[in-house]
Amino acid sequence: MNSCTGSPAELHALDYVEGTLSKSELEQFEEHYFDCPACLARLQAIQAIGRELSRNPVAPPREPKPRIQLGRPAWYWGMGAVAVLLLVGVLTYRSIETRPAQPTVAQTPTKFPPRTQIAAQPAQPLPMPVHFSQLADLALPPYLASNLRGESKDARFEAGMKEYANGNCRGALVALSQVPAESTEARAAKFYSGACQMRLGDFASATGVLRKIADAGDSPQQEAALYGLAQIALAGNYPATAHAYLLRTISLRGDLEQRAREQDRQIAKLIGQERQAKGENP
């Protein structure tokens, strides 16, 4: 135990740690390593390794798989692989070189049919809506005096009709609304008030007034009231209603008969045009 180099010193230090030394060898080793810094350092290193292994045991290494022994050296097979790659590259290049060039999208000419092959489609005209309101006659009916002198006994009615004759429908409405119901001019005041309402575009009020005059029976204003109702129906684009009122107007055989007949013929003509535009049989 006098030598501290070589395998005998390392072997005794490991046996000392493992506790396999005999009692005499143990006493000799302990007497030595206390006085030998080299053996003491080796002993401490072995003990530190033992403590580390106890905390983190190392798994035993796996046995490597047996290699397949080739009959030829590795460089031989490597050169063969390189030759195969070169051959494939040459064949690919030749196939690309002999292949006909495909035009790209930008080179592909856009084919359009000749202009002579494009049949010009005539634009189909849209059917125009028929506006029966164009036939409406919303002019104020003339004033028909109740007596030959054209004078009225009711001053309020007389004042209203002066405004009516001047085309001032709003002023006429104010004056005629003051004519009392018991006045002999009450029905005439109602009729001319309805005519003013029709002229001003208040068709709802005018219809109510004129309908009462027309349904009241024989009067100087009945024919004009029926004709006025026909005009209001035309203004609202209701030809069937206008036709019905015109037929009633014609049946009275009065001053508005010919005008009503002509207007009814115009309505029938527009109805035929409307059916033709829709593709219906006239």
User: What average pLDDT does the structure give for the chain?
Assistant: 77
For residues 44 and 165, state if they share a domain. no
More confident residue, 156 or 120: 156
In a domain, 101, yes or no: no
- SS3 assignment for the chain: CCCCCCHHHHHHHHHHHHCCCCHHHHHHHHHHHCCCHHHHHHHHHHHHHHHHHHHCCCCCCCCCCCCCCCCCCHHHHHHHHHHHHHHHHHHHHHHHHHCCCCCCCCCCCCCCCCHHHCCCCCCCCCCCCCCHHHHCCCCCCCCCCCCCCCCCCCHHHHHHHHHHHCCCHHHHHHHHCCCCCCCCCHHHHHHHHHHHHHHCCCHHHHHHHHHHHHHCCCCCCHHHHHHHHHHHHHHCCCHHHHHHHHHHHHHCCCCCHHHHHHHHHHHHHHHHHHHHHCCCCC
The arithmetic mean of pLDDT across residues 114-140, rounded, is 67
Q: What is the pLDDT of residues 173-199, one digit of tens each?
A: 999 999 999 999 999 999 999 999 999
Amino acid 6: pLDDT: 46
pLDDT in tens, 11-22: 677 777 777 878
Burial letters for 199-211: b for 16+ Cβ neighbours within 10 Å, e otherwise? beeebeebbebbb
Note whether residue 240 is domain-resident: yes
Same domain for 270 and 173: yes
Query: Per the domain annotation, does 137 fall within a domain?
Result: yes
**Boundaries of domain holding 24:** 7-55
Lowest mean pLDDT among 34-38, 106-110, 229-233, 240-244: 106-110
Does residue 151 lie within any of the structural domains? yes
For residues 153 and 45, state if they share a domain.
no
| Position 1 confidence tier, pLDDT thresholds 50, 70, 90 | very low
Tell me, yes or no, whether 60 lies in a domain: no
**pTM for the complete prediction?**
0.53
- Is a pLDDT exceeding 50 seen at residue 281? yes
Is there a domain that residue 245 lies in? yes
Say whether both 49 and 136 belong to one domain. Answer: no
- Is residue 153 scored above 50 in pLDDT? yes
The pLDDT of residue 112: 47
Q: Are residues 45 and 163 in the same domain?
A: no
Q: How far apart are CA 2 and CA 9, in angstroms?
A: 9
Does the pLDDT value for residue 106 go beyond 50? no
Q: Are residues 138 and 242 in the same domain?
A: yes
220-233, pLDDT tens digit by residue?
A: 999 999 999 999 99
Residues 226 and 140 in one domain: yes
Task: Please indicate, yes or no, whether residues 137 and 40 belong to a single structural domain of this protein.
Answer: no
What does the alpha-carbon distance between residue 154 and residue 28 come to, in Å, rounded to a whole number?
Answer: 163
Residue 167, domain CATH: 1.25.40.10
Whether residues 153 and 20 fall in one domain:
no
Q: In this predicted model, what pLDDT tens digit does every residue of 129-150 receive, in sequence order?
A: 558 899 999 999 998 776 545 5
Q: Do 169 and 256 sit in the same domain of this protein?
A: yes
pLDDT, residue 231, reads: 96
Domain count for the chain: 2
Q: Does any domain span residue 164?
A: yes
Region 33-40: mean pLDDT is 72
pLDDT score for 94: 54
Asked if residue 127 has pLDDT above 90, the reply is no
Could you tell me if 139 and 273 lie in one domain?
Answer: yes
Region 61-67 average pLDDT: 55
Higher pLDDT, 25 or 218: 218
Query: Is residue 205 included in any domain, yes or no?
Result: yes
Q: Do residues 40 and 148 share a domain?
A: no
